[in-house]
Structure 1
């Protein structure tokens, strides 16, 4: 029998646990697999029998053949149940149905990749984590953005999250969007919708693998107060209607704060009425302009809010309408079981100048994707350290009065100005 790792599954090899994912029409499903399992899947090319694969694994790991065969066979048959592998009873040369395999066991391949195209923005949102408004002095030009996209494609990235500032404000945005659409399976553009015009919609209507995340932070009056423009809700509403007209996937992003908390259900109702795929609910982080507002929720407070979110899910969710976390959030939950938030290896953030940080909240420089080679960043000591870095938790931090602010979050812990922070001392020791 000749096992074959099959489409629509994709294997991304990387340092530590590799990732298996599958595309369907509305989402991606993720699972983690250890290196041994990933090696077996890679050998399942429809040219080798189980016996031959077992022999290869026995040699690689200096293992007794019979034991290697038992372990390999068990893994293959479990993978058949999961749908990753099919068995053929004869050698088949045609490999068209083989699942795609990317990556390298010596480096990480982040699955949640955010690219900030600009800091420029027409709005003055009171909760903006990076105080967007004006461009950075050294923002990437089109050619430099293209360098970054090519490197991400080469390393096996398949899904991007495009944000800003306001990404659609760039004069070359359509050119960038065209490159993203050609090079990646899917991308999501996070936008206020403020720059949408009938002419703009005409230019984007045929990009069917681009999803649009429109920010709605309350009903009209509240949304406009938070966003700092009296017509911001009207323009966001126009953007959603225009995208739905051409059957493009739309997600609403609702950033929770005390001013709009009592409108969460209304926004969910609005989203369902407008025909969006999902309403994502996030918490305001004490960063950027939000530092001046008493709007941030600590982790324990947000856990209470999640109970309300779960109640609303039970009322409004259907097979075509979802509330809450996206697929990367589910993957990060799996990673958090290992007491690590995933920043720097599951998620990365690329700033408008090409600098790479672990996430939007964790401003620790890993390199620059315009000037540095892929391995210089993603096989570096810094990134491998982040993969093994334990998150701030009660076990580590004890009775620290700031734990509610940074519990489980490397980024918030990194920002805290506390001289005797136990987590920060561990972090600084790790990067020496």
Structure 2
């Protein structure tokens, strides 16, 4: 066994207890778990802190398995999260020309904010210096900025990686097509439907035809690096199947996103149909112990104020992990480790399946577990099923 004299338990290791049994796993890495006797686990922890040379062959087998799934690590420094992002998403504006029913942040109002261009330039330079591979521009709607051409030019003057834009596609004029052809490596268009009727219900009338016309025009110009995304809002998979069929006809890669019920989405949707389908069809194969996403923070999001988040789904100020300081051309990180919400709230703290119940998305967990009604409904559907799968199935070593 490798480095048997150096055993560290990850700070992301968690233990669930059920009588004489326990389940051990890493909530931020891998997702697999190990079921064993609680007394054996306590012995392993004690011996790892004292004389690990006394480990039996059976105990060594467990330590090897612990290493494999991230419960144990060979070096405590490996457990420290470092900020080495390969992708940076920049919120260049909160202005939007649409008011989509499923928008998690209720964009589309009269009040908005734009990121100063000197901050955009500084982030571009930082990205180049720190070997970032891709910058994505998002909003709001990026093409609401009257200086979007200057924004793209400034970025490409200071950054040699891929520059991409997330857009609703309705404001892209011929001038902007020239911009896309010259500077933009990929265009990610949000459509959320498969025809005029389905799209107009979410995004408004005329959006579908504008997007299809834009895609055809880009393709006529030889531009092929386009993705088309759709948020699942229906009670079954029929709308997703039709959306994929549309994408296939357009020869474009489809991207399916899960509904996050907050912001304007909370006003228009009572529940997430995709999540309901998942909860009602639980199997051991689909379970994960992981309930913290983006463990190494390979992708970060910076809002118009320069606040840094671990992803674009986390835009609430209290969820920020740091800030970008323009004068220093540097990101200051306040704290990378996020404690899962199921360890914070009283009804869930002592639940013996809480990490399996939680989503890997921090934003979705905040929406679900901060709402007592949603939390109770989730518990009613999932808890008994989860207990049967994880505690009454022979899945130990």
- Flag whether TM exceeds 0.5 (same fold): yes
Which residue number in structure 1 is paired with residue 43 of structure 2?
none
How many residue pairs match? The answer is 282
Deviations 1:147-182 (A, max 9, x none): 222222222211122211100111111122233345
Deviations 1:391-411 (A, max 9, x none): 75999662799986x522222
Q: Return 5+ residue gaps in structure 1 as ranges.
A: 1-15, 17-31, 33-104, 308-332, 422-432
Contact 2:291 2:360 in 1 (8 A): yes
Are 1:367 and 2:367 an aligned pair? no
Query: Structure 1 residues 245 and 178 mapped into 2: Cα distance closer, same or farther (>3 Å)?
Result: farther
Counterparts of 2:249 and 2:144, CA distance in 1:
28
Are 1:159 and 2:111 an aligned pair? no
Which residue number in structure 2 is paired with residue 398 of structure 1?
351
Query: Structure 1 residues 237 and 304 mapped into 2: Cα distance closer, same or farther (>3 Å)?
Result: farther
Name the TM-score, length of structure 2 as normaliser: 0.61
Are 1:231 and 2:206 an aligned pair? yes
**Residue 296 (structure 1) shift:** 4.1
The CA RMSD measured in Å over matched residues stands at 3.7
Query: Structure 1 residues 203 and 301 mapped into 2: Cα distance closer, same or farther (>3 Å)?
Result: same
**Residue 141 (structure 1) shift:** 2.0
Query: Structure 1 residues 370 and 169 mapped into 2: Cα distance closer, same or farther (>3 Å)?
Result: farther
Counterparts of 1:272 and 1:185, CA distance in 2:
29
**Residue 299 (structure 1) shift:** 6.9
Query: Structure 1 residues 202 and 293 mapped into 2: Cα distance closer, same or farther (>3 Å)?
Result: same
Counterparts of 1:291 and 1:254, CA distance in 2:
18
**Residue 354 (structure 1) shift:** 1.7
Counterparts of 1:370 and 1:189, CA distance in 2:
23
Which residue number in structure 2 is paired with residue 212 of structure 1?
187
- Partner residue of 2:99 out of 124, 128, 135: 124
- Partner residue of 2:362 out of 404, 410, 414: 410
Counterparts of 1:236 and 1:259, CA distance in 2:
25
- Partner residue of 2:298 out of 340, 346, 350: 346
- Partner residue of 1:275 out of 248, 251, 256: 251
Contact 1:341 1:391 in 2 (8 A): no
Are 1:194 and 2:170 an aligned pair? yes
Q: Return 5+ residue gaps in structure 2 as ranges.
A: 1-10, 12-28, 30-79, 376-397
Query: 2:149 is paired with a residue of what secondary structure?
Result: helix
Higher relative contact order by CA 8 Å / sep ≥ 6: 1 or 2?
A: 2
Which residue number in structure 2 is paired with residue 145 of structure 1?
120
**Residue 190 (structure 1) shift:** 1.0
**Structure 1 residues 30-429: aligned runs within 5 Å:** 107-134=82-109, 138-182=113-157, 183-207=159-183, 210-218=185-193, 219-227=195-203, 229-248=204-223, 249-258=225-234, 261-276=237-252, 278-294=253-269, 296-297=271-272, 300-301=275-276, 303=278, 339-342=291-294, 345-362=297-314, 363=316, 364-371=319-326, 373=328, 377-378=332-333, 380=334, 382-383=335-336, 385-386=337-338, 389=339, 392=342, 398=351, 406-415=358-367, 416-417=369-370
